[in-house]
């Protein structure tokens, strides 16, 4: 007799399972376009030169492995706030953890701040973990249509109408840029309208910012929406920052939850609550990656190198996006592919049926998420033509 007889089996996370399947595949020309991790022109993981330099500096200084404070490394938190907001815009308080951890921590805090629990509006489609993070905390999550599969573009009217009719004081998840998986973001004018509608209805913006600087190669450009809401519109907002992609620190779990509040008192109080919540969850965040990120952002020459590294990554992705598009056109792949070059960021949202996605994996060893999202970073001059030809053959 087990006390666990009420447990049920939860299928493995689809994207991690896909990576495992890919690794098992002995086919020499296999291509992994699943997980969103940057690869260089040869298909290898890339340690950013700025990160490499910071690592060397830290080693030379003599690294220890002491605990960080519960709130994380102060220099890291301050440097993050400065780079994200463009200046020290206070009152805001912040706390370090990873991107996913930042979202979870935001949820923990929001859960104790409002009763009854506010609803969370989540764009559809979205990053596969959003619903899980917030529903596991007991929130009721409501999807709203973000993307129109017919036009293969943002459905801005659906977006506006959701905000106009949302329950006041609800929370809305906003992808700060490079919307995962669609690669479609609102224009600056549309962001202004979104901010105004949200302010009018007292909706709380919770930014998921995993691609700042990685999307366009220009950090300020990518941070536009956050700065608009927090700086210009003076709205209260939560901002969940990840350094996984833009610093290539995936496995180091470097991130930060920042909260902009209307009053100094609320900032002090929420920080103290976050400290307590963090203590009971993980006690204190990982140190190594935070020390690297702090060096990179804190030293002028390293920061410049980092900005150049983001240009390197985003430009390579852009050129692969274009190459895939051009090969698809030249092979005469059925249908229109313009959406591919309208999209931006790490992902291409192809618009293929699940059957085609499966066929690409089984017959051509080309791996992608079930919704036909591809990580463009997995393409390189050595495989892009093969991928385009495989897609074309599957569709013909
Ligand atoms: N949010 C979005 C939209 C993402 O795409 C990702 C990573 O894929 C994350 C958050 C999570 O980032 P992290 O690895 O820092 O937890």
Single out the catalytic residue among 222, 245, 337, 361.
245
Residue 108 makes CB contacts below 8 A (sequence gap 6+) with 137, 277, 281
Ligand 1 centre from 242 Cα, in Å?
7
Answer whether 37 contacts ligand 1 (Cβ < 6 A).
no
DSSP state of 358: H
The owner of tokens 């997980």 is 35
Measured CA to CA, the distance from residue 341 to residue 249 in angstroms comes to 27
Residue 40 makes CB contacts below 8 A (sequence gap 6+) with 46, 316, 380
> Is the N-terminal amide bond of 116 cis, ω within 30° of 0?
yes
Q: Interior CA angle at 130 toward 129 and 131, to 5°? A: 100
Q: Which of 125, 174, 170, 126 is nearest to 149 (CA)?
A: 125
pTM metric for this prediction: 0.95
Query: Quick one: what percent of the chain has pLDDT higher than 70?
Result: 97
Measured CA to CA, the distance from residue 384 to residue 272 in angstroms comes to 50
Per-residue pLDDT tens digits for 142-172: 999 999 999 999 999 999 999 999 999 999 9
Q: Is the predicted pLDDT of residue 344 greater than 50, yes or no? A: yes
pLDDT at 123: 98
pLDDT mean across residues, the chain: 94
pLDDT-based confidence at residue 86 (cuts at 50, 70, 90): confident
Q: For a substitution probing ligand 1, which of 35, 99, 222, 241 has the most ligand atoms within 8 Å of its CB?
A: 99
Per-residue pLDDT tens digits for 12-42: 999 999 999 999 999 999 999 999 999 999 9
Answer whether 247 contacts ligand 1 (Cβ < 6 A).
no
Instruction: Provide the 10 A C-beta neighbour count for residue 111.
Output: 16
pLDDT at 335: 93
DSSP state of 39: B
Dihedral sign (CA 300, 301, 306, 309): positive
pLDDT at 391: 98
Q: Is the predicted pLDDT of residue 306 greater than 70, yes or no? A: yes
Q: Is the predicted pLDDT of residue 52 greater than 90, yes or no? A: yes
156-170, 256-270, 379-393: the lowest-pLDDT one:
256-270
pLDDT at 97: 58
Phi, psi of 350, deg, nearest 5:
-70, -35
Measured CA to CA, the distance from residue 246 to residue 238 in angstroms comes to 20
When pLDDT is averaged across residues 313-335 and rounded to a whole number, the result is 97
Answer whether 127 contacts ligand 1 (Cβ < 6 A).
yes
Pair of tokens at residue 200: 């009018």
Measured CA to CA, the distance from residue 29 to residue 378 in angstroms comes to 13
Answer whether 210 contacts ligand 1 (Cβ < 6 A).
yes
pLDDT at 181: 96
Ligand 1 centre from 169 Cα, in Å?
25
Q: For a substitution probing ligand 1, which of 129, 242, 243 has the most ligand atoms within 8 Å of its CB?
A: 242
pLDDT at 88: 60
Contact indicator for 222, 207 with CB cutoff of 8 Å: no
When pLDDT is averaged across residues 61-74 and rounded to a whole number, the result is 91
pLDDT-based confidence at residue 359 (cuts at 50, 70, 90): very high
Per-residue pLDDT tens digits for 171-195: 999 999 999 999 999 999 999 999 9
Single out the catalytic residue among 155, 185, 208, 222.
208
Measured CA to CA, the distance from residue 208 to residue 245 in angstroms comes to 13
The owner of tokens 């990656």 is 289
CA 244 to chain centre: 9
pLDDT-based confidence at residue 94 (cuts at 50, 70, 90): low
Measured CA to CA, the distance from residue 19 to residue 24 in angstroms comes to 9
When pLDDT is averaged across residues 282-306 and rounded to a whole number, the result is 96
Contact indicator for 187, 194 with CB cutoff of 8 Å: no
When pLDDT is averaged across residues 53-80 and rounded to a whole number, the result is 92
Q: Which of 270, 103, 92, 248 is nearest to 176 (CA)?
A: 103
Pair of tokens at residue 265: 């008192």
When pLDDT is averaged across residues 123-150 and rounded to a whole number, the result is 96
Contact indicator for 243, 84 with CB cutoff of 8 Å: no
pLDDT-based confidence at residue 91 (cuts at 50, 70, 90): very low
Measured CA to CA, the distance from residue 86 to residue 227 in angstroms comes to 8
The owner of tokens 């105004």 is 196
Query: Quick one: what percent of the chain has pLDDT higher than 90?
Result: 89
Answer whether 208 contacts ligand 1 (Cβ < 6 A).
yes
Contact indicator for 246, 310 with CB cutoff of 8 Å: yes
pLDDT-based confidence at residue 264 (cuts at 50, 70, 90): confident
Ligand 1 centre from 189 Cα, in Å?
26
When pLDDT is averaged across residues 333-359 and rounded to a whole number, the result is 96
Q: Kind of pairing, strands 347-349 and 373-375?
A: antiparallel
127 part of the active site? yes
The burial class, CB within 10 Å (0-12 / 13-18 / 19+), for 124 is middle
């Amino acid at each position: 007799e087990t006390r666990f007889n009420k447990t049920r089996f939860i299928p493995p996370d689809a994207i991690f399972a896909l990576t495992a399947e890919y690794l098992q595949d002995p086919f020499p020309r296999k291509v992994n376009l699943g997980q969103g991790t940057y690869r260089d022109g040869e298909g290898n993981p890339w340690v950013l030169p700025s990160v490499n330099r910071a690592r060397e500096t830290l080693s030379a200084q003599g690294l220890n492995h002491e605990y960080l404070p519960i709130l994380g490394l102060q220099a890291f938190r301050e440097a993050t706030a400065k780079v994200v907001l463009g200046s020290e815009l206070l009152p805001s308080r912040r706390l370090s953890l990873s991107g996913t951890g930042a979202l979870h921590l935001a949820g923990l805090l929001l859960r104790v701040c409002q009763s009854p629990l506010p609803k969370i509006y989540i764009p559809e489609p979205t990053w596969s973990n959003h619903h899980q993070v917030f529903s596991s905390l007991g929130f009721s999550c409501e999807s709203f249509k973000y993307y129109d599969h017919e036009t293969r573009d943002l459905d801005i009217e659906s977006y506006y109408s959701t905000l106009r009719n949302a329950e006041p004081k609800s929370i809305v998840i906003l992808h700060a840029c490079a919307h995962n998986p669609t690669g479609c973001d609102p224009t600056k004018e549309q962001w202004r309208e979104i901010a105004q509608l949200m302010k009018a209805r007292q909706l709380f913006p919770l930014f998921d910012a995993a691609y700042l600087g990685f999307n366009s190669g220009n950090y300020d450009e990518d941070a536009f929406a956050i700065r608009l809401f927090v700086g210009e519109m003076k709205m209260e907002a939560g901002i969940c920052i990840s350094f996984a992609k833009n610093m290539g620190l995936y496995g180091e779990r470097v991130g930060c939850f920042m909260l902009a509040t209307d009053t100094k008192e609320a900032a002090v109080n929420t920080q103290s609550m976050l400290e307590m919540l963090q203590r009971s969850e993980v006690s204190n965040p990982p140190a190594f990656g935070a020390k690297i990120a702090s060096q990179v952002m804190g030293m002028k020459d390293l920061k410049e190198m980092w900005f150049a590294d983001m240009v390197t990554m985003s430009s390579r992705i852009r050129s692969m996006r274009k190459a895939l598009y051009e090969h698809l056109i030249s092979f005469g792949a059925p249908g229109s592919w313009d959406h591919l070059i309208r999209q931006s960021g790490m992902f291409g949202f192809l618009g293929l049926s699940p059957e085609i996605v499966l066929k690409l994996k089984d017959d051509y060893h080309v791996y992608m998420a079930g919704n036909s999202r591809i990580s463009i970073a997995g393409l390189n001059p050595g495989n892009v033509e093969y991928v385009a030809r495989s897609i074309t053959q599957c569709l013909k």
